[in-house]
Chains A and B, each alone.
Chain A
Amino acid sequence: AQTVTQSQPEMSVQEAETVTLSCTYDTSESNYYLFWYKQPPSRQMILVIRQEAYKQQNATENRFSVNFQKAAKSFSLKISDSQLGDTAMYFCAFMKHGYGGSQGNLIFGKGTKLSVKP
């Protein structure tokens, strides 16, 4: 069974600074995907970034980037130039490759509550 662990329940960062959220996972699968989702107080779950396990290059989306270490099963999220709107719960998630049209299911970590302070 796959597991996802986020060891930082809460973090805070000053506006405009950089913060890194940690995530480790455990799996015996070789073909899978990793995600970071953001859930602000509105509770709307928003996809931040996606990483395919077969890609060595780390994914980047504007101010968000990941450090994917496949051998160490580590998948951290770096937020640069933090903004007040980045305040949210951040979830790391794992999905194994599906077959026959199935997308498979997301397995989530417990989340990290990030507060960006002015």
Chain B
Amino acid sequence: KAGVTQTPRYLIKTRGQQVTLSCSPISGHRSVSWYQQTPGQGLQFLFEYFSETQRNKGNFPGRFSGRQFSNSRSEMNVSTLELGDSALYLCASSNVVYEQYFGPGTRLTVT
């Protein structure tokens, strides 16, 4: 079974721009969660989607948004990028067994 895939793997953007990251979960997994990893703040939860509905949301500003499609693929969007948004963005998919499997991440650099 193929693992979680994330695209792109690396991204460089300028302050003020917006960015869209994509995540394809493991086949059969319906829940997708997003996390931000930075050296200072560690791993922080962004949001979780299940059956195309946002079920949980972390403590991030409204500039961070996401969605999930009928095939369970998910995208997250960050608008009006700030330098502090530079991070590794991790996507995780899960089934009903309470195990989250992570993708390789997207490294976003904001200049």
Complex Cα gap A100–B55 (Å): 9
A98 to B105, CA, bound (A): 25
> Which residue of A98, A101, A107, A111 contacts B51 across the interface (Cβ within 8 Å)?
A101
* B55 x A47 contact (CB < 8 A): no
**Are A106 and B101 interface neighbours, CB within 8 A?**
no
Q: Which of B55, B101, B105 contacts A101 (CB 8 A)?
A: B55
Interface of chain B: mostly helix, strand, loop or mixed: strand
Q: A47 with B104: in contact, given A103-B48, A104-B56, A105-B45 (CB under 8 Å)?
A: no
B94 touches A108 (CB 8 A): no
In the complex, are the beta carbons of B45 and A106 less than 8 A apart?
yes
Please tell me if A44 contacts chain B, counting CB pairs below 8 Å.
yes
Q: Is A50 an interface residue (CB 8 A)?
A: yes
Interface residue tally on A, bucketed by range: 20 to 34
Q: Is the CB of A108 within 8 A of B98?
A: no
Return B78 CB to nearest CB of chain A, in Å. Answer: 18
Report the tally of A-B residue pairs with Cβ distances under 8 A.
67
A43/B104 in contact, CB under 8 A: yes
Flag whether A56 is at the interface (Cβ < 8 A): no
Give A111 to B78 CA distance when docked, in angstroms. 26
Q: Which residues of B contact A91 (CB under 8 A)?
A: 43
Residue contact A106 to B42, C-beta cutoff 8 Å: no
CA distance A9 to B42 in the complex (A): 13
B32 to chain A, nearest CB (A): 9
Residue numbers in B under 8 Å from A105 (CB-CB): 33, 45, 48, 56, 58
A101 to B49, CA, bound (A): 10
A-B contact pairs, 14 of them (CB 8 A): A43-B105, A47-B100, A50-B99, A52-B98, A101-B30, A101-B55, A102-B50, A103-B33, A103-B50, A104-B56, A105-B56, A106-B43, A107-B45, A108-B42
B interface residues (Cβ-Cβ under 8 A, vs A): 30-31, 33, 35, 42-43, 45, 48, 50-51, 55-56, 58, 88, 90, 92, 94, 98-102, 104-105, 107
Where the two chains meet, the residues of A that have a C-beta atom closer than 8 Å to any C-beta of B are 33, 35, 37, 42-47, 50, 52, 91, 95, 97-98, 100-111
